Chains A and B, each alone.
Chain A
Amino acid sequence: MALVELRDIRKTYHLGGEVIHALDGVDLDVDQGDFTSIIGPSGSGKSTLMHILGCLDTPSSGSMTLDGMDIHDATPRQLAKVRGEKIGFVFQFFNLLPKLSVAQNVELPLIYKGASSRERRERAMQALDLVNLEDRAKHRPSQLSGGQQQRVAIARALVNDPRIIFADEPTGNLDSHTGEMILETFCKLHEEGRTIMLVTHDPEIAALTPKKIEIRDGKIASDVDAKLSGRESRFKLNRPADT
């Protein structure tokens, strides 16, 4: 059984008299250890799909299981638990809490899990270590660069040791150099065996990931674009991580 299974997922918005099919029948399996990129034109439904996968939003119809759990039948409390403990979500706009320190931001999922303060501190430092930011633990998010903030967000996504990480255009708000560093982080995580899905506009980023999915008009395109397959990436991900 796949880690995530989507069957005929639809998401419909009603705006005035208009009906918008943001997702129009999506079937998708994600296996343990997959590193998948989702591409597609703007407005095609990538974010919508990610939100449903990340249990932040509910589909209008269709079924979804995550780690063997039927998401459709889950109570709000169970969904909150899944979000906190099985899923790590990285947003395009970082979404850190400006009033909390870096470490406190990273600890947040552990607080709601009910971990002791000592365990929280230890695991937050480990997660910050993974993104090479352990020396910034006491800083405020506003004192960090965009790339560093995104790495804090990744640390927050990692801190609960989730089954799967979703990232919606994690580099969309960063310059290409900084984006590269973020991608390196993801590649490193993939090599450690984590399951990652990321949304991107950039075909060159998509070219890095072993699996690629293209979405058009709320549907998964039957064939991944030929131009993407086998394409050489301009990224050379063997540099030591920037600190």
Chain B
Amino acid sequence: MNFWNTMFIGMKEIWAHKFRSLLTMLGIILGVSSLVAMSALVKGMENGMKEALVAMGGLEKVRVEFQDDLPPHQRHLTDQIPGLLMKDVYALQSGAPLVENITPIVEQHGYRTRINVTYRNKRARPWRLYGTWPGILDLEDHRVEHGRMFNEIDNEEARSVCVIGIELRNDLFGDPEKTGEEIIPIGQTIRINGQPFTIVGMFEHYMTEKEKKEKELAKLQAQQNPQGGVVRDKGRGSSGPSGYVFRLKNNSIFIPLKTMMIQFRAAAGLDEKADPRLSGIYMKVRDISLLETALQQIRNVLQVSHNGIEDWSFRTEEDLADGIQVTIKNFRMSGVIIAAIALVVGGIGIMNIMLASVSERVREIGIRKAVGATTTDIFVQIIIESLIIALIGGIMGLVVSIALVDSITAFTPTENNPVITGEAMLFAWGCSAMVGIIAGMIPAFKASKLHPIQALKYD
């Protein structure tokens, strides 16, 4: 028997019971749409995380951070903590050839230590103040858009120069999106906790992909109707793990390490010791495939220079990436479980309706068998009807999922815009097809086994 003919019969049968079929499809619609929506959300999360990872300096970055709570077996050594010192930097430079760009950092948290930045009567609260070497540029994936980064000479001479994130410019000199004119404050002198600093450079505006797109769109709209000059600033109000990295970078100030050590000794919590403590040492592994060996090298060097006291810890982006992967995996798992439950429920619905349909059509099946339909013909006919219900339900589910994802995006904007992929749609549709076939099995078997004469005598 011809496949298209069977399709046609199936379509007719479903059309004859439109409402019933639609109700039956609900489960499948729900299953498919939740599957696609979930995978879109996960995809969006993944994209956001990847973006954030790059913004943080990539997987090759290793951070050695000072840590004052020692492992339990070393607790009695607490008063002998050496802390991270410049000599560790020199030790690493000579003893760990697998890492490069070893850069010390003294870091102040804006909200913990109340960093005050002023320009004339304007005030700003940076999130972070870093004293470091110019190498940080590469480590943190920073890009100076205007002016220059401070250099080694600035550092050697402990000059009072700084490079600022764009939000600080906006706070101190005015936001071009509000004032309408862009001020490049290179050469201006601002005060950090009262100390005068000359701005030598300003970083570019760090934005997530989504913010970039929105900004471009806003620009386009502004061009189209210059009068309606209301520019919405969605990006800053949004939240999310990847957006945080970008906003942190926009709200940072960098000064030379030596300047930091001299001018902010007390504020940085540095005592009068000869060699002030660092908050961390950042570096890059030369070859990511040798990460483990490189870490071992760092460990060895620090073990020696710290007399075995473990007052430091590693932070690699790989840890973070692993953590993110686990989060995403859990999220995906729960999504798959929800979708699977909906699909199973949908499948049971289809099976139920097909069983009802078969008992309604015993006579029809008998007649078809009497005029030459084989067991297989009847089996295929019922399976195809069930498959059609599932496939139509699947298509509706795909449409619903697009609407669902759109409304998720509209109501809860995040950097991690959900992304519907073709594969996800295809996969979900395939799942609905499979559910249709499996759900049709029992009714189809029941129908195909009907004896023609029993079917004809039945009423």
Q: Is the CB of A113 within 8 A of B370?
A: no
Cβ-based interface call for B217 (8 A) = no
Could you say which residues of chain B place their CB within 8 Å of the CB of A235? none
Closest to B372 in A: A84
Residues of A68-89 whose CB lies within 8 A of B? 76-77, 80-81, 83-85, 89
Cβ-based interface call for A56 (8 A) = yes
Q: Is the CB of A112 within 8 A of B370?
A: no
Give the segment of A25-33, A91-99, A126-134 that binds chain B: A91-99
CA distance A112 to B375 in the complex (A): 11
Partner of B371, one of A57, A76, A84, A99: A84
Cβ-based interface call for B364 (8 A) = yes
Q: Is the interface of A mostly helix, strand, loop or mixed?
A: helix
Cβ-based interface call for B265 (8 A) = no
Cβ-based interface call for A51 (8 A) = yes
Q: Is the CB of B375 within 8 A of A109?
A: no
Q: Is the CB of A83 within 8 A of B456?
A: no
**Count of interface residues, chain B, beta-carbon cutoff 8 Å:** 23
Residues of A93-123 whose CB lies within 8 A of B? 95-97, 99, 108-109, 111-114
Partner of B370, one of A85, A89, A114: A89
Give the total number of A-B pairs whose CB atoms are below 8 A apart.
64
Q: Is the CB of B456 within 8 A of A76?
A: no
Could you say which residues of chain A place their CB within 8 Å of the CB of B16? 99
CA distance A160 to B372 in the complex (A): 10
Binary per-residue interface labels of chain A (138-168) against chain B in the complex, 1 for a CB within 8 Å, 0 otherwise: 0000000000000000001000100000000
Q: Is the CB of B371 within 8 A of A112?
A: yes
Q: Is the CB of B370 within 8 A of A56?
A: yes
CA distance A82 to B418 in the complex (A): 59
Residues of B342-381 whose CB lies within 8 A of A? 363-364, 366-377
Q: Is the CB of B364 within 8 A of A97?
A: yes
Partner of A83, one of B363, B364, B370, B376: B370
Partner of A80, one of B366, B375, B453: B375
Q: Is the CB of B372 within 8 A of A57?
A: no
Q: Is the CB of B372 within 8 A of A83?
A: yes
Could you say which residues of chain B place their CB within 8 Å of the CB of A89? 370-371
Could you say which residues of chain A place their CB within 8 Å of the CB of B227? none
Residues of B1-18 whose CB lies within 8 A of A? 1-2, 5, 12, 16
Cβ-based interface call for B48 (8 A) = no
CA distance A77 to B379 in the complex (A): 13
Could you say which residues of chain B place their CB within 8 Å of the CB of A95? 363, 366-367, 370, 456
CA distance A197 to B411 in the complex (A): 75
Q: Is the CB of A112 within 8 A of B368?
A: yes
Closest to B456 in A: A95
Closest to A113 in B: B372
Given the known inter-chain contacts A57-B453, A95-B456, please indicate yes or no for A83 contacting B371, CB distance below 8 A. Answer: yes
Could you say which residues of chain B place their CB within 8 Å of the CB of A99? 12, 16
Q: Is the CB of B372 within 8 A of A81?
A: yes
Could you say which residues of chain B place their CB within 8 Å of the CB of A56? 370, 452-453, 456
Which A-B residue pairs are the 3 nearest by beta carbons?
Answer: A84-B372, A112-B372, A80-B374
Question: Can you report 5 A-B residue pairs in the complex whose CB atoms are below 8 A from each other?
Answer: A80-B374, A97-B364, A108-B367, A112-B1, A160-B372
Please give 11 more A-B residue pairs, beta carbons under 8 A apart, in addition to A56-B456, A114-B2: A56-B453, A80-B377, A81-B374, A83-B369, A83-B371, A85-B372, A89-B371, A99-B12, A111-B5, A112-B1, A112-B372
